[in-house]
A and B are shown apart, each in its own frame.
Chain A
Amino acid sequence: MASPRSFSSPSPLATFGYKVTYLLHETLLGLRRGGWLNWAAVSTLMVLLFLVGISLHLAWGLEASVGSLGNQLQISAYLRPSAQAETLVPTVKALDHVVDVQVITKEQAWKTLLIDMGMRDQASVEQQFGQNPLVDTLRVQVDALPHLDSVAATLKRLDPIEEVAYGSQVVKHLQSLQETLRLGCLTITSVLTLATVAVITTTIRLIVMARRREIEVMQLVGATAAWIYLPFVLQGFLFGVIGALAAWGLVLGSQGVLQDLFGTIVALPFLQFTGEATTNRNWQLPLILLGMGTFLGTMGSLIAVHRSSR
């Protein structure tokens, strides 16, 4: 038997080094023994984080759209097909809170539309669609956001004007959409969070059960609870990291598909998934997913370990 007195204590750095090595080794061993249970835990976490990621992306896109639309102080007034916009300009300019009026004739609008649609041969298009179906439009600039509604109402009462459209209507529509989306996401996220923690807890508990004999021996020879259970907590943390990375990859990979899907369903093609509206927050997404993943992973394993060590 070696004498404990002849034991020369290694440097604190070396001690720290082999303690970390031991913990990592035990964590990897746990992962290896977890088998398919690991994938159950990681994939549940991944699905949850993917949905959270998508929701966040959509919420940010909507938020940006609402923000940009809310700043627009412009009203579009569409005239009856036969009416000429120029005749109405002095009347509109004389209205209170109106700063500027711009005329867009139906010919200009038609030309712009054709260019936007990529059709250069105006004659052949007109042959297909008949005459220019558009109407003259007035772009009315208002001095402040609170006056948008009153000016729009006044414009609507003017005779040749048939329809008015302005940002705040879209903003209201988007805000209600945002609210619905937020509620839906919150519900799904809450349910999935509970399911994720339950799956991780079960996974770690099963791994702890499988290693019960070793844990018994460790307790018997004086290993501290932290030393015994830290690898399991690290394992939960790793589930979080892997789940978050996979979810982030999925979010990035599915952006194009989702843009098309939402464009079709919501018919708001200006909603941005990849554009400027969300680009400046893109770096936040992996951090949020990683934070949430590691938190849930660690929480799940802590619950499992707490129950097992009782």
Chain B
Amino acid sequence: MITDFTTPPPLATEPPAHPEPHRDYRDFRGQVILHRVTKIFPGGTCVLDNVSLRINQGEFIFITGVSGAGKSTLLRLLYGAEQPTHGRVIVDNTELTRIRPRPLALLRRRLGVVFQDYRLLSNRTVNENVAFVLRAQGMSPAEIRRRLEPTLKMVGLAQKGHRFPHELSGGEQQRLSLARAIVNTPTILLADEPTGNLDQENSLLVLEILKRLNSFGVTILMTTHDPYLLSQAHHRLLRLHQGHLLEVSSPETG
């Protein structure tokens, strides 16, 4: 079944017609909402055209589409690296329209973001790369130590805490990047082509970790164009095509 999402889905509680920036929307906890979002870049390229989407807490969503379809832009809108040209973006109770730096920083502490190119700090060890996130948020050394071990264990890097990123394989580097994204117990995890540089085996390993996280209630939004991964996942799948977001399948429709 293919559904065009240009018509906004009915929301349980409609956001106000004139959104108040930075206001908390308690009714949308753990949710991701795009409401008639259009993104046009300064050159005039329209990447997203009147897109509406609602992701509920604890959902696992795949977004697919050809390169340049706007998958990364969509995620960038969700962690506030981009602002929509029109429309509204609400993530975990926070309106991102014209959001100020401090509320944005506080929102990002509740998000985890993973990239295709890992974005690790090459001059810091595995432990330091993960601890860096917590230190950057002002956590105490005791709390950092407490969180470090279980997180590394979860991604299978507990024995490699003192290695540097260049001493790890691609799969391990991506798992380290995942560890960094989840060490802060995010409510929503945004993964931008996390398996883009990985072989099938490592891709499945990353997918398994994401599934486990999802089982703890973390909302997962992952972009990919890996058909094998999509066939293995059995999750809700959306496709970005010429600026429109189309629902390809849901777990029910398979």
A253 CB within 8 Å of chain B = no
B216 CB within 8 Å of chain A = yes
| Whole-angstrom CA separation of A10 from B136 in the bound complex | 17
A14 CB within 8 Å of chain B = yes
Number of chain B residues close to chain A: CB under 8 A: 35
Q: A2 contacts B147, CB within 8 Å? A: yes
A205-251 at interface with B (beta carbon < 8 Å): 213-214, 216-225, 227-228
Q: Is the interface of A mostly helix, strand, loop or mixed?
A: helix
Q: A14 contacts B140, CB within 8 Å? A: yes
Number of A-B pairs, beta carbon distance below 8 Å: 77
- Of the candidates A1, A3, A216, A221, the one whose C-beta lies within 8 Å of that of B137 is A221
Q: B136 contacts A18, CB within 8 Å? A: no
B18 CB within 8 Å of chain A = no
CB of B177 to closest CB in A, whole Å = 10
B154 CB within 8 Å of chain A = yes
| Whole-angstrom CA separation of A10 from B138 in the bound complex | 12
Q: B151 contacts A1, CB within 8 Å? A: yes
Proximity string of chain B (138-151) to chain A, C-beta cutoff 8 Å, 1 when within and 0 when not = 10111100110011
| Whole-angstrom CA separation of A10 from B140 in the bound complex | 8
Q: In the complex, which residues of chain B have a beta carbon less than 8 angstroms from the beta carbon of A228?
A: 136
Q: B142 contacts A10, CB within 8 Å? A: yes
- Of the candidates A15, A216, A222, the one whose C-beta lies within 8 Å of that of B105 is A222
Q: In the complex, which residues of chain B have a beta carbon less than 8 angstroms from the beta carbon of A19?
A: 138
Q: A1 contacts B185, CB within 8 Å? A: yes
| Whole-angstrom CA separation of A216 from B136 in the bound complex | 11
- Of the candidates B105, B140, B185, B213, the one whose C-beta lies within 8 Å of that of A18 is B140
Q: B140 contacts A213, CB within 8 Å? A: no
Q: In the complex, which residues of chain A have a beta carbon less than 8 angstroms from the beta carbon of B25?
A: none
Interface residues of A (CB under 8 A from B): 1-4, 7, 10, 14-15, 18-19, 22, 213-214, 216-225, 227-228
